[in-house]
Chains A and B, each alone.
Chain A
Amino acid sequence: MTTQTAEPVATRVAVPATSKAASDRIRSWGVMAARILLCGVFGLPLVFMMVSSFKPDQQIFGDLGSVNAFLPVGDISLDNYLGVFDRVPFAQFILNSVMVSVLTVILGILVNSMAAFALSRIEFRGQKVILSVILATLIVPFETLALPLLWWCNQLPYFDGSIGWLDTYAVQIVPFVANAFSLYLFYQYFDSIPRELDEAARVDGAGWFRIYRSVIMPLSGPAIATVAILTFLPAWNSYLWPLMVVQTESLRPAMVGIDYFKQMATSWGQIMAYASMITIPVLAVFIAFQRSFINSIASSGVKG
């Protein structure tokens, strides 16, 4: 008898427990399935691009209907890559892109961190005004200024109607060195470094510049990494500005180069090869430094 009365109680407790566990398991399987499906949505187009870069056009179209579209099978070769180098000075384009983006990053780190240091550490008249003017400019998107800036850079530096400053490396770099957002990121980070550190250095007789160089900057690795990443990506990917200011092929960056390339090439395989070559280095750097990248983006979200 006792067992008979006990049993329903036990099942009554057990049944909801197991069904809850089961529904939890179903839910977590469902969530995992969604995650994997989304991997396909975001990853497969890029896989398709890279795989297609090894195939002749006929096969790219032939494979579309099957899973082969995402697999490096069939008539695989480097012909498309050779074709790219054959048709355009691709190495020069890449070199230009590297020059422009690396110089923008290095100069940007120097210029913005120095200004941020002055604003965060040294007391002087008008400090608050300068900072708020800089922050106010954050809401102005570059695109609103692009056309007046184009006219302006064409007047620089002679103002005599001659084609001045367009079509140089400098015009691709210098306007983007000072950056309100980078400056602000440095400012925020410097503010979190205890002031006792620079006071100690001052007692030892260090000047402000010395403190900046030997105390603050060595402690600011994460801020430097963040600014480097957030400056490099737009510089490497920059399109609108170089499209307007660069006419000479030997100064053209890779992103504008692909646009011209597309207009002269009818082969999709070659376009995919070009696209892969300018994408894979960035993707590789991203995957290698993935944590810094993600943290940089996250910290750019702190500004609100």
Chain B
Amino acid sequence: MTALDKPLRASARSARTSRRGTSVALAMLTPAALLMAVFLIVPIVLTFGLAFTNSRLISPVPAKFVLFDNFFRLFGSDTFWHSLLNTVIFAVIIVPLQSGVALGLALLVNGKFRGTNFFRTVYFLPVVTSMVVVSMLWMFLYQQDGLINVLLAKVGITGPDWLGDPRTALFAIIVMSTWQGVGFHMIVWLSGLQTIPAELYEAAAIDGANKWQQFANVTWPGLRSTRTLILITITISAFALFTQVNIMTQGGPLDATSTIVFQAVRTGFQQQQTGYASAISLVFFVLVLLVNLVQRYLTRDKEVSR
């Protein structure tokens, strides 16, 4: 439309530049568009296609359509249900935990005081450290005779074998993941806090509001859009839990830490069953989409009721 509108509105000269503009625009857009088509759009389509075949990663035999066989196998597998449950538990606990702790940290280092930057930097250090390194380090800390249990022993508590006990393994991974990621969301909260005008706090203080009332009536409502963003990003990354599990527990003990992505990698890469892994990926995809829709719906609803 715009390419046709232009000549009517403007001179012949700008019509020429506009037509030339279109070809330049297409040329500049092509590398990104091509790469996205090949490495993003095609894999999305493939996820849907491969999930209904018995494709293998490397196979001399051509793949066949098997309709819903992969899904029947999937939904009949205990390991899959455990993995789904673990992923959901992980998300349900870590979303409030990590966003809450991050908000606490943000409030603690908000504003100007001696060493603002120092504290923010230190809290942020684990974020810049790779999850692979963090997982290695915490494996040591979590050992039966590791740092955490030695410290617990000082106050008379006999710590469990954190990663070896099915009752504590997922919990241990949750704590470590929070430790690693919380600095990131602290920064996002901070940038949200800085959008709240100082006059609002002054007005509240004049009205005699105490710290808690100021938080409830000024800070919390002012963080609405930040809250939505943080909720969505933590939820999606929580569903993608893989690295920690692969390095620390390999899904064990007794599937206690197995996750959706871990199962997808185990079946699709180690066992080379691409079709089955694609079915898992498709379930994961639908799950992420649902969570996104629900969160969008909830936040939109609040916007209306305001």
Contact = CB atoms under 8 A, between A and B. Distances in A.
Given A147-B274, A163-B58, A239-B131, A152 B119 contact: no
B116 to A, nearest CB: 10
Interface in A246-271: 255, 258-259, 262, 268, 271
Interface stretch (B19-27, B74-82, B157-165): B19-27
A147 B277 contact: yes
B108 A209 contact: no
Contacts of B229: 301, 303-304
Contacts, number: 273
A69 interface: yes
Q: Is the interface of A mostly helix, strand, loop or mixed?
A: helix
B281 interface: yes
Contacts of B91: none
Interface string A274-289: 0100110011001100
Contacts of B154: 65
Interface in B10-38: 17-18, 20-22, 24-26, 28-29, 31-36
B191 A298 contact: yes
Contact of B125 (A161, A183, A283): A283
A105 interface: no
A160 to B, nearest CB: 11
B299 to A, nearest CB: 9
A234 to B, nearest CB: 10
Contacts of A183: 32
A38 B109 CA distance: 11
B108 A140 contact: no
B191 A240 contact: no
Interface in B127-163: 127-133, 136-138, 140-141, 145-147, 150, 154
Given A64-B147, A151-B274, A271-B136, A115 B28 contact: yes
B279 to A, nearest CB: 10
A284 B3 CA distance: 50
B39 A304 contact: no
Nearest to B270: A244
A148 B292 CA distance: 22
A9 B41 CA distance: 78
B247 A259 contact: yes
B2 A154 contact: no
Nearest to B114: A32
A116 to B, nearest CB: 8
A19 to B, nearest CB: 16
B289 interface: yes
A149 interface: yes
A81 interface: no
A-B CB proximity, top 4 nearest? A178-B35, A115-B32, A304-B229, A298-B191
Interface of A: 31, 34-35, 38-39, 41-43, 45-46, 48-49, 61, 64-65, 69, 110-112, 114-115, 117-119, 122-125, 127, 130, 134, 137, 139-152, 154, 161, 163, 174-178, 180, 183, 202, 207-209, 212, 233, 236-237, 239-240, 243-244, 255, 258-259, 262, 268, 271-272, 275, 278-279, 282-283, 286-287, 290, 293-294, 297-304
23 contacts: A35-B108, A35-B119, A38-B123, A45-B141, A61-B145, A110-B31, A118-B24, A123-B6, A123-B18, A141-B237, A141-B288, A143-B242, A143-B261, A144-B281, A148-B278, A151-B278, A175-B35, A183-B32, A207-B20, A239-B130, A286-B128, A294-B124, A297-B188
